[in-house]
Amino acid sequence: MELFNILNELEELIGNSPKVPMTKRVLIDEDRLLDYLDRIRASMPEELRQAKWVLQEREKVISDSKREAVRIIEDAEMQLEKKAVDSEITRKAQEMGEEIRFRSEEMARQIKQGALDYADEMLAELEGKLNNILSQVQENRSELKSVSKE
């Protein structure tokens, strides 16, 4: 991942920078350090955009499921009206309409749950990646602090 490469390069910059005599401090080229920070910022938004995309896709799937459920229900109602000629036909049509509505609502629930599970999985994966990145940054900061105190 690009971010880890940048962090490794930053760590290498710190390790190869000249030390201030009689201290445990190092001199780091400000422009290079700022360049690394800009590169880190540029590499992070992609992960965040992916999370946003996952949420948008989840909403789209849910919205599409609801529209499909409404369409199926409307189709069932139209079929029911067409078959309303005879009471037996009407009764059977009502049963069929209820069954179609039940199945469409169940299908919509399953699609919605699948979308939620997918979004949760993607967000959990993103959370893990971000936690790894945060851990690396914290470790690097700790190393920087320990080097600056020496």
Domain borders along the chain are: 2-149
pLDDT band at 39 (very low <50, low <70, confident <90, very high): confident
Q: Where are the beta strands (DSSP E) in 19-128?
A: none
Is the pLDDT reported for residue 40 higher than 70?
A: yes
Of 11, 28, 45, which is closest to residue 142 (Cα–Cα)? 11
Residue 134 has pLDDT above 90, yes or no: yes
* pLDDT for 45: 65
- Spatial distance between the Cα atoms of 78 and 68, rounded to a whole number of angstroms: 15
The mean-pLDDT minimum among 24-38, 43-57, 122-136 falls in 43-57
**Residues 55, 119 contacting (CB under 8 angstroms):** yes
**What pLDDT, on the 0 to 100 scale, is given for residue 74?**
92
Q: What is the pLDDT of residues 86-114, one digit of tens each?
A: 677 777 888 999 999 999 999 999 998 98
The predicted model gives 116-129 an average pLDDT of 91
CA distance 73 to 25: 72
pLDDT tens-place string over residues 42-72: 877 676 778 878 888 888 988 999 999 999 9
Look at the pTM and tell me if it is higher than 0.85. no
